[in-house]
Structure 1
Amino acid sequence: MQITFLGHAGFLIETQHALVVADPWLTPLGAFDSAWMQFPRNHELAPVVREKLENSPKERFLYISHEHKDHFDPDFLWSLMKRDFTVVLGRFRRTALHETFLAYGPRRVITCEDQQEVAFRGGYLKLYLTDSGTNRDSALLVQADGRSFLNLNDCKVHDRLPKLVAEEGPIDIFTAQFSGAIWHPTCYDYSREEYTEHSRQKRASKFEAVARAIETVQPRTYLASAGPACFLDPSLFHLNLEPVNIFPRAPELFSYLKSRLGSKAPRLLEPMPGDVIDAETGDFSWQVPERVTDENVAEYLRTYAEMQARVFRERPRNILLEEVDRIHLRLREELQNKLDAFSLSDRVTMPLYLGLTELPTQLLRVDFRTRRVEVVGEVRDLNRYMLLANAVDIGRVLERKLNWEDFLLSFRFRASRAPDVYDATLHNFLAAEVEDLRAMCDTTLAAEARKERTVVSTGTQRYTVNRFCPHQGADLKEGWIEEGRYLVCPRHRWRFDLEAGGVCATNGCSVKAEPQTKQEDKREAPAEQRPQA
């Protein structure tokens, strides 16, 4: 099995009899309305991947993990003239990706259930799915020629890794996201000190997640992928060169892993797009002589930005006031439609303000208690969430050129919240499409209906807790204890204070922890108390 790195989260996996192209993101237009660009640059690989998918004599598969545009690249995929290959997707509640590929016209489309295998001569590929709220994703396992490649990309299945490894055996090559892919704290109005602290916490959490995954999987090699994109829009370029943010490069991760794992660290590789690793021999072939290093990264990015300048010169910037008014009216209608479909609105205790920068005295105030959207001249609530954006960017959402999550990942807005507490329900309201909100709410309620309890131990005290995380249903039996009192969720690292009833201080959610007395039944094995992060 040979694995060619295509950049970001993309791979070309060739076995003796099959070829799998995973998440090829190759368009020079980047993703999320060109806000994100591939780092390092990989556009020159498009003809190579096109030739493989169109003409290889092997059985050919195109795997798309999820619909985020840094994984699903319509511009590149629609450039393929011959489409007699098999598309493999996860079977998600939101069917938009499946419908897109049915219209695309490949030889066949396979939508896999969780852990479903797709066989080919000499091996198989298998998908592992998450589907909760706005989080729809899949991980890919390829077993062939006696070797294995596990690619988690952005998929949060960390709580399922022990079972996966027990069933599938040793993993040769492993990769998982290690860099941020969210708009917090990037788009929030924090002081520099607050921004730095939030960034440090998030990157430490992400690095620790990779370290624990490596401890469980015990691969021979870890490949750094699904790492940082770069930001070449002049309005976003500063993000590349900040001393601390949520977009670390691989050398920072490797330094952490070497310190954290010591002699148990696997071989750590930072590939450039086009590099090849042989899963059987472990041979790593540098196909790109010029590497991006700490010493040349700033100059590399400036040169890259000059090469891509045309993309941003052609983006519309100014529109007539009449068009701004029209977008404002349509945005109010969109928010009301969202509210009408949002059955969990009573859980959001503070209003949401959305404003267009061109109309500073015509803010839209979303009141979740009364389920009304009104126009107000100023912010009138001490506790509130606020988002401001240009009319041009909001207009692209309303015209369905972007979906809401694409817009939020473009980073072309500013946000603030008081108090500074994450509200998952409000987050889902913002990021979901109108047509998905009812199903999303139903999924949340179904997850909360799971009442199974489990036992965890801090070493000095045992507690009964809800087994499944209230955020996205991760199995807390695979969690761990930090500082002798905090139960940590293995997916998103939420910390539940066992001594305070299992409440998460970040957001107020709870796993309803109750101390267990010696007389109570202790037949269920406690969660392992792993080393403190």
Structure 2
Amino acid sequence: MGQDEPVLGPLISSTGHMGLRLQTQNLRVLCDPWVSPGGAYLGARFPFPDNSHLRLMPGLWHAEWVAVSSAHLDHMDLAFLSALSDGVRVVIPEYPSSVFRDRLSEAGVKDIVEVAAWERLPLNDRGDWLTAIPEQSPAEHRAAFLIVADGVSVLHGNDARLSLSQTRRAMVEVGGPLDLMALDASEPRFKAVKRLVRSVKPRLVMTYSGPACFLDPALAQHNQHLCEPGELPTETLRMLPGDSVRIAPTTHDVIRDPHWEGFAYSEHLDAYASSRAQEIAEVWAAHPDPGAGSGLAKRFKEHFVRLGRLSPYFLERISMTVRFDVSGADGGVWDVDLGASHSQQAPQYTFSVEARWLEAVLSGEIRWDDLFLSRRLLIEHTPDADGTYLFGLLKHADADALQAVEDYDKRDPNATVTLSAGDRAFEVTRYCPHSGEDLAEGAVIDEAPEGLVLRCLAHNFDFSLTTGLCLNARCEPISVAAPV
């Protein structure tokens, strides 16, 4: 592939999943590398397609900088990051809490550089730079990286949900259209990505391989989204792990990894699962069922006492009983009242989980968000239950992060913004009543059987521009008026 040869412009290589490598004659940057053989999230998720052949590729993993976008374990490969050579700097976005940095430090990662939103970080003395673009809402700690090297701009979007206004600002920062947007265009996100690409018209789009797959037979039913992404409204590079593109100011050249000759998505999964059976078995062996008398129930109760002290605001918004149906020798059925108006009300959410995986959370090995993403639990709820703040409390479990969400929610509820659809204009509530997304930047107007509909792109909530009512979820209405 020639990673160490001089190039006329940046060489961008796919490293699998949502990772890439950027190289020029004077710079090497890795973004979100995920290469450890044991997968992530308790051996539940693995890069798709299999990128293991890259581990032995000379020079591919050498870099001066490693940019890691989030604390999700398919981005933050702790085994890889903790083994980096001295002098390699790990760049992370600045989030409202220290949890991300703390997890890296505890794993032994030494040289960590936090970058505030839109702050330019010089990467060398030749004018190359990087910045982080976090999602607008602090409820999600995900971010894109914008890199400019040798005059070429690369937006490493990974799975961050950037708004149109953020992407347009990125274009302003680089002084013109983006040369390459690298995006997660898998099925759940495809429509939003297509709309974004159509609006900003980048020169090239690179779609990441994936999404991650489930190789444990107990989780195989979750592989329904493993397919090639659809067509996007610009020249699209479908890059498999090891494929590269060299981007010059006016031209580009794609270099395909011969490893993938004859590759077919539909034929890859079974052989891949067989090749990882030993690693998955080791995960199960490392997490035995806690024996009777292990004190699991006591530690579970203490854990939720601590969580309940983090944010009165979140408890007020949750206001429900949550049931945990824990299977195993020391399990049981345990109800937790989270801000409920009275105890012993019927549970609105039930989490069914094996004690071995709950133990991993209580011991601090993983976080609740990691367990949710592993799919190693079953979640059931009543039809009208809103779990937004319940899941926010569990996945953040940090007072600073929860306070940032509260402050975001409490922005002026009476603020309005004018949005246009053709020759019609509407003055509407500026902030989505569901999670506070700024509708000035994160909304589109579509035709629907009910008439014109405003869609909040944060969670795809639809609001009627006739009545203001939410049409597809339980949510407070928006105000709607035609400006004078």
State TM-score, norm by structure 2: 0.86
Of 295, 299, 316, 1:346 maps to 316
Shift of 1:140: 0.9
1:161 aligned partner: 167
Cα deviation 1:400-426 (Å, max 9, x = unaligned): 000111111111111111125543112
- The percentage of counterpart residues that share the same residue type is 23
Of 173, 192, 215, 1:209 maps to 192
In structure 2, the gaps of 5 or more residues are 1-9
Distance 1:432 1:99 in 2: 13
1:272 aligned partner: 240
1:431 aligns with 2:395: yes
Shift of 1:489: 1.8
**Partner AA of 2:24 in structure 1:** T
Cα deviation 1:45-101 (Å, max 9, x = unaligned): 235487753xx6xxx111111110100111112223x22122211111111222455
Of 209, 219, 228, 2:202 maps to 219
Cα deviation 1:372-391 (Å, max 9, x = unaligned): 6x7xxxxx62x611111111
Distance 2:362 2:332 in 1: 21
1:481 aligned partner: 445
Of 219, 223, 232, 1:236 maps to 219
- Does the aligned pair in 2 maintain the 1:128–1:140 contact within 8 Å? yes
**Closer/same/farther in 2, CA of residues 99 and 367 from structure 1, 3 Å limit:** closer
1:297 aligns with 2:268: yes
- Does the aligned pair in 2 maintain the 1:463–1:514 contact within 8 Å? yes
Shift of 1:338: 1.4
In structure 1, the gaps of 5 or more residues are 180-202, 259-264, 375-379, 521-533
SS at match of 2:142: strand
- Does the aligned pair in 1 maintain the 2:348–2:381 contact within 8 Å? yes
- Does the aligned pair in 2 maintain the 1:161–1:216 contact within 8 Å? no
Shift of 1:106: 7.0
Cα deviation 1:220-275 (Å, max 9, x = unaligned): 322221631111112112323xxxx4x242x2x22xx35xxxxxx22222222111
When the two chains are superposed, the root-mean-square deviation of aligned CA atoms in Å is 2.8
1:449 aligns with 2:458: no
2:402 aligned partner: 440
Please show how residues 380-399 of structure 1 align to structure 2 within 5 Å.
Answer: 381=346, 384-399=348-363
Shift of 1:349: 4.2
65-74 or 292-301: bigger deviation: 292-301
Of 111, 117, 123, 2:114 maps to 111
**Closer/same/farther in 2, CA of residues 445 and 107 from structure 1, 3 Å limit:** closer
Distance 1:354 1:431 in 2: 16
2:6 aligned partner: none
Shift of 1:310: 4.1
**Closer/same/farther in 2, CA of residues 431 and 52 from structure 1, 3 Å limit:** closer
1:288 aligns with 2:251: no
- Does the aligned pair in 2 maintain the 1:133–1:428 contact within 8 Å? no
Of 10, 18, 43, 1:34 maps to 43
1:496 aligns with 2:479: no
- Does the aligned pair in 1 maintain the 2:209–2:239 contact within 8 Å? no
Distance 2:264 2:81 in 1: 31
2:7 aligned partner: none
**Closer/same/farther in 2, CA of residues 167 and 492 from structure 1, 3 Å limit:** farther
Of 167, 175, 184, 1:177 maps to 184
SS at match of 2:158: coil
- Does the aligned pair in 2 maintain the 1:133–1:444 contact within 8 Å? no
Distance 1:285 1:448 in 2: 50
Q: Which has the higher helix share?
A: 1
SS at match of 1:440: helix
Of 138, 144, 148, 1:139 maps to 144
- Does the aligned pair in 1 maintain the 2:96–2:404 contact within 8 Å? no
**Closer/same/farther in 2, CA of residues 350 and 469 from structure 1, 3 Å limit:** same
Distance 1:49 1:132 in 2: 40
SS at match of 2:76: coil
State TM-score, norm by structure 1: 0.79
Distance 2:404 2:270 in 1: 49
**Closer/same/farther in 2, CA of residues 421 and 211 from structure 1, 3 Å limit:** farther
**Closer/same/farther in 2, CA of residues 288 and 314 from structure 1, 3 Å limit:** farther
Shift of 1:467: 1.8
Shift of 1:150: 0.9
1:531 aligned partner: none
SS at match of 1:328: helix
98-107 or 10-19: bigger deviation: 98-107
**Closer/same/farther in 2, CA of residues 505 and 26 from structure 1, 3 Å limit:** same
Cα deviation 1:151-187 (Å, max 9, x = unaligned): 11121222322232244211122122233xxxxxxxx
**Partner AA of 1:448 in structure 2:** K
Shift of 1:309: 4.9
Count of aligned residue pairs for this structure pair: 461
Please show how residues 358-369 of structure 1 align to structure 2 within 5 Å.
Answer: 358=328, 362-369=333-340
Distance 1:116 1:143 in 2: 13
**Partner AA of 2:236 in structure 1:** L
Distance 2:278 2:238 in 1: 24
Shift of 1:370: 4.5
**Partner AA of 1:489 in structure 2:** C
Distance 1:49 1:426 in 2: 46
Distance 1:154 1:234 in 2: 26
**Closer/same/farther in 2, CA of residues 313 and 514 from structure 1, 3 Å limit:** closer
